[in-house]
Amino acid sequence: MAAPRLPRLALTAGEPAGIGAELIAKLAATDLAADLVAIADPELLADAARRAGIALHLESYDPAAAPSSRPSGHLRVAAVPLRVASTPGRLDPRNAAYVLDMLARAADGAGSGEFDAIVTAPVHKGVVNDAGVAFTGHTEFFAQRAGCDVVMMLTAANAGGHLRVALATTHLPLAAVPAAIRRADLVGHLRILRGDLVARFRIATPRIAVLGLNPHAGEGGHLGREEIDEIAPAIAQLRAEGFDVQGPIPADTAFVPAQLARYDAVFAMYHDQGLPVLKHAGFGHAVNVTLGLPYLRTSVDHGTALDLAGGDRADPGSLIAATRLALELASPTRA
């Protein structure tokens, strides 16, 4: 009997002036049992590997081939050419189209079933916008291309197991957040969160803590009414449907260990309400997961680190963790 094929993961190399190509080279040097397919410029990958002192064997990607093993240091490449030569640490808006082409190729391949998951290295949002393309991040790009609502969630191992923090809003200015806290959106996002905790993370009855927006969860309306008008009604609606959802909980006490132990995930109202705590607990080894997509996508928990690009200084820990989680969640035999 022939050996089963390896899970096929699409790896996007992110901003070419950043550390993404180096991270992928270091990932390929591990013994992870996966068919790793880098969607990137092959020369960019080869240059990054040389600078980092990594012996990397690149092979042109053939979708018809289904390897059952992968030697360390081997990497298949679905070539996407740079628009202009890239210099480590120096952003160039002319390569914004290259970044978007990588993401589109990965999204289309995952959507068709060609890839079992996507794992993304970091992009630089600013330089894409400087090129004249409105771009707020991977999460929003994949959601728009798939035509679905999604939820950003980061997860990191801690002493008590796993800390999972999902977001009601993502890359919004803080001043725009209150207007985005609406009952219907909260209900939809909490349904996505619960659905993927069940389907992907195999948690049969997820327990979710919902944070308030304002200090002390609004202090009975004295510090804001979002909890009364939007958040509490959303929680009540879902509890009536059988969800184990608690809140609104004041954000300043929600992450106390004794409180966290009661929940499988925390649902924060905005980016910098929940993610600083998670990154303090596991930065460099945490994983960003996009929930609600028709395919699996994981990513690193950090940015492009332009100041580290061009040598052997980038820590691949988060990319390795993101790849391991993608393999774990993609496995049909996971307990």
Instruction: List residues forming the annotated binding site for substrate.
Output: 138-139, 279, 288, 297
Instruction: Find all residues with CB under 8 Å of 294, minimum gap 6, and list them.
Output: 111, 146, 148
Spatial contact of 190 and 184, defined as CB atoms under 8 Å apart: no
Which residue numbers belong to the known binding site? 138-139, 171, 216, 271, 279, 288, 297
Question: Which residues in 160-272 belong to E strands, given as ranges?
Answer: 161-167, 207-211, 244-249, 265-268
CA distance 104 to 106: 5
State the virtual CA torsion across 27, 15, 271, 176 in degrees, nearest 10: -170
The two structure tokens encoding residue 28: 């390929």
CA–CA distance, 229 with 244 (Å, rounded to integer): 20
Binding-site residue set for a divalent metal cation: 171, 216, 271
**Dihedral pair phi/psi, residue 77, rounded to 5°:** -130, 120
Q: Are strands 297-299 and 287-291 parallel, antiparallel or unpaired?
A: antiparallel
Are the C-beta atoms of residues 147 and 40 closer than 8 Å to each other?
Answer: no
Q: What is the DSSP letter of 2?
A: P
Nearest to 121 by CA among 45, 216, 206, 224: 45
